[in-house]
Structure 1
Amino acid sequence: MRLSASGQPAMTGAALMIGAGAGFACVNTLLQYVTMMLGVSAPTATFWQYFIALLVLLPWQGIGLKGFATARPGAHLLRVAFAVGGVQLWTLGLAHVPIWQAIALIMLSPFFVTAGAGLLLREEVTPARWIAVLTGFVGGAVILSPWSDGFTLWAFAPIGAAALWAAASLMTKRMTATESPETLTLYLLALLTPLNLGLALMPEAGGLAIASAPAIAALVVAGLLTALAQYALARAYATADAAFLQPFDHVKLAFNVGLGALVFGFVPPGSMWLGSALIVGASLWLLARERRGIGHRLTRERAGG
């Protein structure tokens, strides 16, 4: 039986995806606080975030160095390359477009995953899922607002980041057939760490020193949450189909916007709400159909047993 067609594994995967989204939203808020309010450079903060996450994960549940055993080093490198490209485009977008627009546009990533799950992983993508994908991209166009005076081509950077992160997610799903969630998370953090170190040591980046105690504490918490969220994400993809999980990934939009308003007083304009309503509405509509489908399948299976 497919995991997406059985109740308990699917709901477990959904809960893990929602938990990962909440964790990443907290990480984003902590990093924004450290860089915007405490003056830590972005490369320095990113290095410590992922380095602390790696230190947290290595001894977790006795994983140790045995977690690095793999027969697919090339696939791990490609997955991390997609992730690094996404990070670079994300940072580039943040430097040129409003934060509310970047956060909302990054929510297109699940629709790239759903499309890729059908085209590349050959998972079943129903007509309802394709309708949700198209509706999501319409919502993205509203948020992008190419007809407005404030439109800039830099707004495509978060969309590019969304596509690359979707590619990394699809690689994660493909590799769960042979790689454990522990190994996937370890390689991601281990390969990101030296890349982040090189960026942090560049002359204009400010080095590795952090003079503020609140910044150190915030980065320690961000590193811990990064490890937990990355592990939850890998475990979710090992539990349920990638296409099924994507509506639950949209919950992180509410987490990000809510925390942004609470901590920074950030209130997005109307176009963000309209576009996000289309994105989230498409996901909720798809979720309702998927849940009815699961219920019908389970009913037929019980009747047949």
Structure 2
Amino acid sequence: MPFSFKRLTGATAKSSTLKGILFMVASVSIFSLVNAFSKMMVATYPPAQVFFIRGFGALAVLLPFLARNNFAAARALPRPGLQALRMAFSVADGMLFFTAIKFIPLADATTCYLAAPIFVTAFSAILLREQVGWRRWSAVVVGFIGVLIALRPTGATLSWPALIALAGCLCQSMFMITTRFVRGTSNVFLGTAQVVGSFLFGGLLSAFVFVPPTWAIVGLLMLSGIINVAGILCINRSLTLAPASVVAPFQYTMIIWAIVLGFLVFGDVPSPNTMIGAFIVACAGIYIFLRERVVMHREPEPNPPTVV
């Protein structure tokens, strides 16, 4: 059989997209664990301070990697304006989320953030010119309906902390879109830029609202920052490998973590509504995954990934 470059290109794009989905699922799992810990911390310490100490631990891990080859990744920086905008969206997302979970349950804040795939899918079609068919749109909407059934938003979700969480959700969506725009950037630099932004902003605010922690708390916060680095690198890698509109709906797996952590950490027993909603969300995510495999057999990826 003669060699087919077209067949090889399609197979490569398919493999890249599936890897992107797996990286997104891994990042959500890591962030869910870290967020549960952060929820406990912000009950005592200001969100900015938690941001600052976590950032210190993360930088201790990332800077040696960035320093390799005399900071070559930072010097050869594509689209610096978008890089700065991406950092701003990342900082705003984190601070808004930390502020929200200080006042409302983690499940309520998670409910607000699960609107992100809707925003990302819409922005991907408008800003990134990614092809989003009606089937994927339908699966995203069905998944969000499952989230609403599972978490049963009440009047509390209309409070000002919930509005803060929704604002953070919008910032997260724009962060994912800008990450897709600068996908030629080194993955290590992308992660370091996020951490530097949170470290500097958190440190600035901490100077005014500092609450002395114990050394044990400092160590735990730094450890959570180090673990958070793995989540950052996973989500950045996901967005460089696959279209944002494809991987974003897999953020719905947060609902699974909300059920598990809510029961194990906070003693919340999942209701029948929660289980039904989680099942709907899982089905929507699986459908998008299977649908993408079918599409990748027929057409090349609209935005070929840049391997870094």
Q: Same fold (TM over 0.5)?
A: yes
3-state secondary structure, aligned to 1:123: coil
Question: Quick check: 1:53 aligned with 2:55?
Answer: no
Q: Which residue of 1 aligns with 2:246?
A: 244
Q: Which residue of 1 aligns with 2:97?
A: 90
RMSD of equivalent CA atoms: 2.9
Q: Which residue of 1 aligns with 2:166?
A: 159
* Amino acid corresponding to residue 27 of structure 2 in structure 1: A
3-state secondary structure, aligned to 2:265: helix
Q: Which residue of 2 aligns with 1:126?
A: 133
Q: Give, in whole Å, the separation in 2 of the partners of 1:40 and 1:77.
A: 28
Q: Which residue of 2 aligns with 1:254?
A: 256
CA displacement 1:163-203 (0-9 Å, x = unmatched): 210100100011114x222222122211221111012111x
Displacement of 1:244:
1.6
3-state secondary structure, aligned to 2:176: helix
Q: Which residue of 2 aligns with 1:193?
A: 199
Q: Which residue of 2 aligns with 1:29?
A: 36
CA displacement 1:247-296 (0-9 Å, x = unmatched): 33322332343133212223355655555554443322222322333456
CA contact (8 A) 1:101 1:143 kept: no
Q: Map of 1:13-24 to 2, 5 A cutoff?
A: 13-24=20-31
Q: Which residue of 2 aligns with 1:184?
A: 190
Q: If the length of structure 2 is used for normalisation, what is the TM-score?
A: 0.81
2:177 is aligned, of 167, 170, 177, to 170
CA displacement 1:194-249 (0-9 Å, x = unmatched): 111012111x342xx43142x23321221111111111111111111111212333
Compare 43-52 and 116-125 and name the one that shifted more: 43-52
Q: Give, in whole Å, the separation in 2 of the partners of 1:130 and 1:89.
A: 27
* Amino acid corresponding to residue 28 of structure 2 in structure 1: G
CA displacement 1:52-87 (0-9 Å, x = unmatched): 112211113754633322243321221122223323
Question: Quick check: 1:229 aligned with 2:231?
Answer: yes
CA contact (8 A) 2:144 2:281 kept: yes
3-state secondary structure, aligned to 1:19: helix
Change (3 A) 1:6 1:68: closer
CA contact (8 A) 2:39 2:98 kept: no
Gapped regions of structure 1 (runs ≥ 5): 299-305
CA displacement 1:14-43 (0-9 Å, x = unmatched): 22112211221221122234344xx44432
Identity of paired residues, percent?
24
Gapped regions of structure 2 (runs ≥ 5): 1-5, 301-308
CA displacement 1:130-172 (0-9 Å, x = unmatched): 11233344445557867x5555343333222212101001000
* Amino acid corresponding to residue 202 of structure 2 in structure 1: N
CA contact (8 A) 2:110 2:254 kept: no
Q: If the length of structure 1 is used for normalisation, what is the TM-score?
A: 0.82
Q: Which residue of 1 aligns with 2:3?
A: none
Q: Map of 1:61-100 to 2, 5 A cutoff?
A: 63=68, 65-69=71-75, 70-100=77-107
Count of residues in Structure 1 that have an aligned counterpart in Structure 2: 290
Q: Give, in whole Å, the separation in 1 of the partners of 2:36 and 2:151.
A: 23
Change (3 A) 1:267 1:198: farther
